[in-house]
Amino acid sequence: MPEPVNVWEYEQLAAERLEPGVHGYFAGGAGDERTLRENVAAFSQWRLRPRVLVDVSEVTAATTVLGAELSLPVLVAPVAFQRLVDPDGEVAMARAAAAAGTVMCLSAIASSRPSELAAECPAAPRWFQLYCFRDRGVTRALIDEAVESGFDAIALTVDAPRAGRRERDLRTGFEIPGELGAPAVAAAIGAERSVSIQEVFSLVDASLGWDDFGELAGSCSLPVVLKGVHTGEDARLAVQHGAAGIVVSNHGGRQLDGVPAALEMLPEVVAAVEGRCEVLMDGGIRRGTDVVTALALGARAVLAGRAPLWGLAVGGEAGALRVLQILRSEVELALTLLGCPSPCAVRVEHVRGGPRLDP
């Protein structure tokens, strides 16, 4: 078969190749999947406004996030249990991200531990996504492993005190195979067996408050990014309590159905932060023009989870790398035609429209 030429084609091939239960686990969202669909559809509500007679003889997609140099403004978002789609799972994804010149964020409920990823991919830039557990010793053990394994930042997810109701899994009866489990959490709690995703969420601290976050951010030797912010009010609180960055995210539409698309929430959060920390977003990224639209609305960069995962499902490490290369190429082309030599040159004046598109 011809090689896919865009993310949509990788997504279609992955749907054909994966067992329905596995595909539904990664592709599905919560409830009626309104938010899942709107994450993608929101980008079509904005129009790009190119400027002409700008010197674009040399264009780069390179940028920095938390001071780290990246070859494109796209990080790989945390996605659990990647060995469901490829035998090398998160290790292959980390290699692909490193080859593409960007950061991979490892999920706390990944099928690989932080120490394993560091051993297999020592040069790969990486963040660790974390849930806060009622037993702070477990939380601290996970942070310590990430620090000792050379991770560069912690991304604390705060929009999942309970797992959302994902009805595709209920229809297919899909469950994570017992042999996968969540090895990082198992090690942190001292379990000598695999720990299921249900057990992980039973340990999450649903009483977590802003003072708890401030204490965690203040005591951590790595920058702590708050992932799962929906509102300007919470963005201001995040900055006040020591967030090094914010990820505007609705968990890929997998938690509370009916919340706005991530892109729709982005301008409110950017305005509330007032430049005091970097703002990123995830949800619905399929094209380089999506990335540039998010930059115009104030994002420093975006995270993409499903897009590189479909590449991994179709072609392993090489497939994941190819998806990231496609996105970088599309970003470079969009910047060139928009009249922006680099991501830093993109401004809000380069877009128009929004939830109610101007006529």
CA distance 331 to 138: 40
Q: Which two tokens stand for residue 332?
A: 């470079």
Backbone dihedral region for residue 251 (phi beyond 0: left; psi -120 to 50: alpha; all else: beta): left
What CA–CA distance (Å, rounded) separates 205 from 150? 26
To the nearest 10°, report the CA torsion of 160, 102, 308, 83.
-70
Query: How far out from the chain centre does Cα 71 lie?
Result: 17
Considering the candidates 23, 230, 241, 251, report the single residue annotated as catalytic: 251
Q: Indicate if 251 belongs to the active site.
A: yes
Residues 6 or more apart in contact with residue 57 via CB below 8 angstroms = none
On the 0-12 / 13-18 / 19+ scale of CB atoms within 10 A, 93 is buried
**CA-based angle 105:110:115, to the nearest 5?**
75
- Pick from 227, 223, 214, 240: nearest CA to 156: 227
Query: Could you list the active site residues?
Result: 251
